[in-house]
Amino acid sequence: APLVGVLALQGGFAEHVRALTAVGARTRLVRRPAELDGIDGIVVPGGESSVLDKLSRALGLAEPLRGALQAGLPALVTCAGLLLVAEELVGAAPGQRSLGVLRVRARRNAFGRQLDSFETHLSVAGIGGDVEAVFIRAPVIESVGPAVECLAAVHGQVVAVQQGAITALSFHPELTHDLQVHRSFVGRL
Ligand code: GLN
């Protein structure tokens, strides 16, 4: 079975471990650079992107993670994880940086008050026609680079993209019982 690293600094990593285990993957929590060695893929969970940014830099993980993603390590990045790896952020917290690997401009907390958090079903290209998706103060993708494919939209706004081996989602697939996203990711490793 493939070994999937789960960035475990903050946020929804335990739920990703549960979902990955349910689809037959082995998992490893990643908190140190050496824990990136030998994994077949990585999940960067949601949570709070400015905290993920600070902790990953403080622990010396930001550069090794950037390097691994640039070298083609397959990745599933969700919500705050998407913001951590994006090239450009709109509405970043003061001093917040991002890894610049995913060629998108992402707007943080993009859905506004009324839609702050919501659950819906989405058609996600390459994954499924009816994917359960939980949005929690989610980002949207405002523009994409040439090698980035849009996979899903909500209210006309892009919420899922693929760039090479990186699948990036604005929503939380790990907070549902729907395993399609994790099954698809692990199936490609
Ligand atoms: N709003 C959060 C951020 O800016 C993301 C929320 C989430 O991951 N559910 O990082």
Average pLDDT, the chain: 97
Pairing of strands 149-154, 166-169: unpaired
Tokens of 25: 């993957």
Whole-number Å distance, alpha carbon 1 to ligand 1 midpoint, is 30
Right CATH for 3-187 from 3.50.50.60, 2.60.120.1270, 3.40.50.880, 3.40.50.720? 3.40.50.880
Q: In this prediction, what percent of the chain has a pLDDT beyond 70?
A: 100
Whole-number Å distance, alpha carbon 112 to ligand 1 midpoint, is 13
Tokens of 7: 């960035």
Q: Which atom of ligand 1 is nearest to the CA of 172?
A: 9
Tokens of 57: 């830099």
Residues 179/22, Cβ–Cβ less than 8 Å: yes
Query: For residue range 56-109, what is the model confidence (pLDDT) as tens digits?
Result: 999 999 999 999 999 999 999 999 999 999 999 999 999 999 999 999 999 999
**CA 35/CA 51 separation, integer angstroms:** 20
173 Cβ closer than 6 Å to some ligand 1 atom? no
- Asked whether residue 114 carries a pLDDT value surpassing 90, the answer given is no
CB atoms within 10 A of CB 43: 29
28 Cβ closer than 6 Å to some ligand 1 atom? no
CB atoms within 10 A of CB 34: 9
- Asked whether residue 39 carries a pLDDT value surpassing 90, the answer given is yes
Within 13 Å, how many C-alpha atoms sit on residue 121's CB side?
Answer: 5
- Asked whether residue 113 carries a pLDDT value surpassing 90, the answer given is no
The complex's ipTM? 0.95
pLDDT at 112: 83
- Asked whether residue 115 carries a pLDDT value surpassing 90, the answer given is no
- Write down the domain spans for the chain: 3-187
Phi, psi dihedral angles at 70 (to 5 degrees): -65, -30
